[in-house]
Amino acid sequence: METQNEIDYKRIAEAIEFLRLNYKRQPTLDEAAEHVSLSPFHFQRMFKDWAGVTPKQFLQYLSIEHAKSILKDKQASLFDTAFATGLSGTGRLHDLFIKVEGMTPGEYKNGGEHLNVNYSFAESPFGIIIVASTNKGICYMAFVDGSNDEAFAELKSKFPNAQYTQFLDVIQQSALYIFTQDWNKLGDIKLHLKGTPFQLKVWETLLKVPVGGLTTYGSLASVLQNPNASRAVGSAVADNPVAFLIPCHRVIKSTGEIGQYHWGSQRKNAMIGWEAAKAQAS
């Protein structure tokens, strides 16, 4: 059974998609509210509670011109200036994740045979998520769009030989606080990831993209000193095993278009706009 948070997020996501698709004709608040079967007053209040801005303001953050302006301003020194922009505490974001540990070759090849994995389900501003951890850090996080059983089966496919316990441990709690707390007050969030050396390098580089900031596949390839590897970078971004914490949603097309996302383009639009609104407010 869906929680109220899930129902509200789905309505907001539908409204964002409606506004984005009809942006050129500037739909009214009444039209957007009607699309999600809410009164204009209730819709405006719900949206502002979720995003902190009005639907019209939010949509500005999803426009191609806004994205292009961010890319233009930040392209040359995106990672050099990352710590000076965004939310209060954004400068500490990468520091929170500097303990990124790749799994050993044995752990990688044997499907986690000797790993004990705790997992739990939690609410986020973007829907229900499943989060999993080993004793070394977060190893998996994904949005749940089907049943919890299906989400667990997907997790288990990543580490088929591990031992699983449904338990919310301290490592998971520290990671989940990123949705609700000032990042200056967060403790270290450790990651324990299954990936090739190249994938780990791409994922670590993504951690330097600031909240409210955007980058492109080509820019990531250049930062990795391999400008011809855009396609390989794109594959590594798509294979990100830790939703939101590793911000692959901040990678867009060089044209300024938002593009696709492993957990749905609607959710990617919501995440980018939500973060832009938070950054703008600070």
- What are the residue boundaries of the structural domains of the chain, listed by start? 4-60, 67-281
Alpha helices per DSSP H over 3-39: 4-21, 29-35
Higher pLDDT, 113 or 281: 113
pLDDT of res. 151: 97
What is the value of pTM for the model shown? 0.84
Across 76-90, 114-128, 224-238, least confident range: 76-90
Cα distance between residue 119 and residue 167, in whole Å = 6
pLDDT surpassing 80 at residue 280: no
The upper half-sphere exposure of residue 157, i.e. CA atoms within 13 Å in the direction of its Cβ, equals 7
pLDDT surpassing 60 at residue 86: no
Residue 80 Cα distances to 84, 85, 220, angstroms: 9, 11, 13
Confidence bin at 2 (pLDDT 50/70/90): confident
Work out the number of other CB atoms within 10 angstroms of the CB of residue 120: 17
For domain 4-60, the question of CATH label 1.10.10 is answered with: yes
Q: Tell whether the torsion through CA atoms of 188, 99, 114 and 237 is positive or negative.
A: positive
Amino acid at 182: D
The values of phi and psi at residue 80, to 5°, are: -70, -35
Helices (runs of H) and strands (runs of E) counted in the chain = 13, 8
Q: Tell whether the torsion through CA atoms of 55, 15, 270 and 171 is positive or negative.
A: positive
The values of phi and psi at residue 133, to 5°, are: -145, 150
pLDDT of res. 102: 82
pLDDT of res. 111: 79
pLDDT in tens, 45-84: 999 999 888 998 888 888 887 778 777 765 434 444 333 3
With H, G, I as helix, E, B as strand and everything else as coil, classify residue 201: helix
CB neighbour class for 252 (10 Å; exposed up to 12, middle 13-18, buried from 19): buried
DSSP helix, strand, coil percent of the chain (3-state; round to 5): 50, 15, 35
pLDDT in tens, 229-257: 889 999 999 999 999 999 999 998 888 88
DSSP letter for 242, please.
Answer: B
pLDDT surpassing 50 at residue 92: no
The answer to whether 248 and 195 have CB atoms below 8 angstroms apart is no
Torsional class of 212: left (φ above 0), alpha (ψ -120 to 50), beta (otherwise) = left
pLDDT of res. 226: 83
Amino acid at 140: Y
For domain 67-281, the question of CATH label 2.40.50.140 is answered with: no
Cα distance between residue 43 and residue 37, in whole Å = 9
The structure tokens 């980058």 sit at 215
Amino acid at 137: G
Cα distance between residue 183 and residue 32, in whole Å = 33
Cα distance between residue 115 and residue 172, in whole Å = 16
pLDDT of res. 91: 43
Confidence bin at 85 (pLDDT 50/70/90): very low
Cα distance between residue 218 and residue 195, in whole Å = 21
Higher pLDDT, 208 or 84: 208
Confidence bin at 183 (pLDDT 50/70/90): low
Catalytic residues: 248
Do the domains spanning 4-60 and 67-281 agree at the CATH topology level? yes
Mean pLDDT rounded to a whole number for the chain: 84
